[in-house]
A and B are shown apart, each in its own frame.
Chain A
Amino acid sequence: DTEVTQTPKHLVMGMTNKKSLKCEQHMGHRAMYWYKQKAKKPPELMFVYSYEKLSINESVPSRFSPECPNSSLLNLHLHALQPEDSALYLCASSQVDQGAYEQYFGPGTRLTVT
């Protein structure tokens, strides 16, 4: 199984809502990533988890709150978002970097903030 799954595929939320994005992989990868991608731009790194611990937070606003409950799951909790947060949110996973391993991406969640 070389798949990273993400749910939901699409999400529309108001600025006062609280929602969560979910990501799952069963490749035994112990590094997981959240990226944000705006139209016609490459993905921007948001967070990196290594062995279920947050190792990188790329100065992301606190209205985005990541969580890694176990080695297969990664969540991104959303609260009080702004319209400019509308984007494609991508999850990826890889083996932890003791070597140069590739990242596998999920299909993404298309988020629209109204």
Chain B
Amino acid sequence: EDKVVQSPLSLVVHEGDTVTLNCSYEVTNFRSLLWYKQEKKAPTFLFMLTSSGIEKKSGRLSSILDKKELFSILNITATQTGDSAVYLCAVKGLYSGAGSYQLTFGKGTKLSVIP
């Protein structure tokens, strides 16, 4: 059974701090790892990672994948109160028997940034 584990489950930091969120996974026929930010309703896509060692960056956010050790990290530098959200890690793997790919989500990390 595919498994995605995120840590920590929750985190409280002050504005300006740097945070690192972790995601480890066990997935059959790995295709990609995705990070989402969820504030109120639907998740907002952040990054998709398919290759080891290549950092994806978007402003203050960056992420990297280690396919050998089966984990990814999401870094947020100079945090702002607007970064407060649940950050979801999801891994896409082959769904055996159906020829389709399934996205398995972790439980998420709840980040709270206080002024």
Q: Which A residues have a C-beta under 8 Å from some C-beta of B?
A: 31, 33, 41-45, 48, 50, 55-56, 88, 90, 97, 99-108, 110
Contacts and interface: CB of A to CB of B under 8 A. Distances in A.
Contact of B31 (A48, A50, A97): A97
Interface centre among B43, B99, B106, B108 (most CB of A within 10 A): B43
Contacts of A103: 34, 45, 103
A42 B43 CA distance: 9
Contacts, number: 62
Given A48-B102, A100-B32, A107 B42 contact: yes
10 contacts: A41-B107, A45-B103, A88-B41, A90-B43, A97-B31, A97-B92, A102-B34, A103-B34, A105-B36, A108-B41
A56 B92 CA distance: 14
A6 B97 CA distance: 30
B100 interface: yes
Contacts of B95: 48, 56
Interface size class of B (residues with CB under 8 A): 20 to 34
A56 B98 contact: yes
Nearest to A53: B100
Interface in B12-69: 31-32, 34, 36, 41-45, 48, 50
A102 B102 contact: no
B88 interface: yes
Nearest to A57: B98
Interface centre among A31, A42, A50 (most CB of B within 10 A): A42
B43 A43 contact: yes
